[in-house]
Amino acid sequence: MKVYIIGTLKSKDLLYKRLQLEGNGAGRMHAYKTVRNDYFKQLNSEVKAPSPTNRKKLVWQKYSGRRLEAPDTERYALHAARAKKLHLKTPAQWDDIEHQLQQVDLFSAPAVSQETNNNQTADNDPYGNVDMYDSVGGNDGWL
pLDDT in tens, 72-101: 999 999 999 999 999 899 999 999 999 999
Q: Would you state the pLDDT for residue 37?
A: 87
In DSSP terms, which residues pair with 47 in a beta bridge?
61
pLDDT in tens, 27-77: 888 888 899 888 989 998 999 999 999 999 999 999 999 899 999 999 999
Query: Taking the model in full, what pTM does it have?
Result: 0.61
Distance (Å, whole) CA 55 – CA 39: 30
Q: Is the model's pLDDT at 135 over the cut of 90?
A: no
Query: Cβ contacts of residue 6 below 8 Å, gap of 6+?
Result: 75, 76, 78, 79
